[in-house]
């Protein structure tokens, strides 16, 4: 019997889902085009669809006329953006993920109290740049353990980093400093998705990772799946579905990144449906093998 097993927690995370829904609602309600400051997610299928619905991507507020609406994506952005939009009479539609917004508030508060803010994460990631924008770009950004010294340190994490990386950086800072406060701001959506992908890959014959090749979290899932399943394929377009390969196997696993929409996952499933006798979730499957 051939089975399709979907990895738990695959697809849009809560923050991305609410940002897309907000953009769609606003575009529908608005007579004019609205803008998104940067692509809402790394999935060209979704951003192309949004463009058709009237959500146009911009990289700067230059030339945007007063009264226009600009969406802030789930990654969030620095305070400067809200100030500039306010000055220019632009309406901000804030789709910052609430978990990221919480970090902005924590950092702004710590900075106001005179603390030295440390962000553990990738200095080039838009989320980290956005967080830094709530302490006037004064944060020390670390992606590995380091020897730093300051009077009063406040540490937060980029939401998508690994916990062991966060812990090792915090430990290195604690070695040389006495006054250190820490907020673990890692979001569990990423680790749950990666763990679900791993568990599924370990238990199937072939694994399909669905998503855009520009999406770093989908690429990460592909790496994880490849490690635990030798027959792993990246499906960035339905035209690249390796049907001939997949049909050789009985247990087919599916995983999808945080920016992969539900219809892309369904499209892949539907394309294989002729050869599929049963669809079940990994959770059902795990229950079955535990019996």
When asked if residue 110 is in the footprint of ligand F3S (CB under 6 A), the reply is no
Which range of residues in 8-16, 77-85, 131-139, 264-272 is near ligand F3S by CB under 6 A? 8-16
Q: Residue 186 Cβ, how far from ligand F3S at the closest point, in Å? A: 9
Residue 215 marked ligand-binding: yes
Binds ligand F3S by CB under 6 A, chosen from 7, 100, 107, 170: 100
When asked if residue 46 is in the footprint of ligand F3S (CB under 6 A), the reply is no
Query: Does the annotation mark 127 as catalytic?
Result: yes
Which range of residues in 7-15, 43-51, 265-273, 281-289 is near ligand F3S by CB under 6 A? 7-15
- Catalytic, out of 127, 178, 183, 279: 127
Q: Distance between CA atoms of 194 and 8, rounded to whole angstroms?
A: 9
Give the residue among 263, 256, 174, 262 at the shortest CA–CA distance from 218.
256
When asked if residue 166 is in the footprint of ligand F3S (CB under 6 A), the reply is no
When asked if residue 15 is in the footprint of ligand F3S (CB under 6 A), the reply is yes
Query: Mask: binding to ligand F3S, 56-75, rule CB under 6 A, as x and -?
Result: ------------------x-
Q: Residue 32 Cβ, how far from ligand F3S at the closest point, in Å? A: 27
Residue 13 marked ligand-binding: yes
When asked if residue 156 is in the footprint of ligand F3S (CB under 6 A), the reply is no
User: Shortest Cβ contact with ligand F3S: which residue?
Assistant: 15
Total residues at the site for ligand F3S (CB under 6 A)?
Answer: 14
Which range of residues in 54-62, 79-87, 94-102, 281-289 is near ligand F3S by CB under 6 A? 94-102
When asked if residue 20 is in the footprint of ligand F3S (CB under 6 A), the reply is no
As a three-state string, the secondary structure of the chain is CCEEEECCCCCCCHHHHHHHHHHHHHHHHCCCCEEEECCCCCCHHHHHHHHHCCEEEECCCCCCCCCCEEEECCCCCCHHHHHHHHHCCCEEEECCCHHHHHHHHHHHHHHHCCCEEEEECCCCCHHHHHHHCCCCCCCEEECCCCCCCCCCEEEEECCCCCHHHHHHHHHHHHHHCCCEEECCCCCHHHHHHHHHHHHHHHCCCEEEEECCCCCHHHHHHHHHHHHHCCCEEEECCHHHCCHHHHCCCCEEEEEECCCCCHHHHHHHHHHHHHHCCEEEEHHHHHHHHHC
Residues designated as active site:
127
Residues in contact with ligand F3S by the rule CB under 6 A: 13-16, 74, 97, 99-100, 159-160, 187, 189-190, 258
């Amino acid at each position: 019997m051939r089975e399709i097993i979907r990895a738990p927690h695959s697809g849009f995370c809560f923050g991305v889902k609410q940002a897309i829904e907000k953009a769609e609602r606003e575009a529908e309600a608005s007579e004019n085009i609205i803008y998104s400051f940067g692509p809402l997610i790394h999935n060209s299928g979704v951003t192309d669809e949004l463009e058709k619905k009237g959500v146009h991507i911009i990289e700067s507020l230059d030339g945007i006329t007063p009264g226009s609406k600009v969406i802030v994506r789930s990654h969030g952005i620095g305070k400067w953006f809200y100030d500039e939009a306010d000055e220019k009479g632009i309406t901000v539609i804030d789709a910052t993920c609430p978990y990221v917004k919480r970090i902005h508030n924590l950092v702004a508060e710590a900075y106001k109290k005179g603390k030295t803010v440390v962000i553990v994460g990738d200095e080039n990631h838009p989320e980290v740049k956005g967080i830094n924008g709530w302490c006037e770009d004064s944060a020390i950004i670390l992606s590995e353990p380091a020897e730093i010294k300051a009077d009063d340190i406040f540490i937060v994490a980029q939401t998508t980093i690994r916990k062991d990386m966060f812990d090792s950086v915090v430990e290195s800072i604690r070695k040389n400093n006495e006054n250190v406060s820490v907020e673990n701001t890692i979001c569990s959506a990423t680790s749950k998705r990666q763990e679900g992908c791993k568990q599924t890959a370990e238990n199937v014959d072939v694994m399909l990772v669905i998503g855009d090749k520009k999406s770093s979290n989908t690429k990460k899932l592909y790496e994880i799946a490849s490690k635990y399943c030798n027959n792993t394929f990246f499906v960035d377009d339905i035209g690249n579905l390796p049907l001939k390969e997949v049909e050789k196997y009985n247990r087919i696993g599916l995983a999808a990144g945080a920016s992969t929409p539900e219809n892309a996952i369904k499209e892949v499933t539907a394309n294989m449906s002729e050869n599929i006798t049963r669809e079940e979730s990994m959770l059902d499957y795990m229950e079955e093998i535990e019996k």
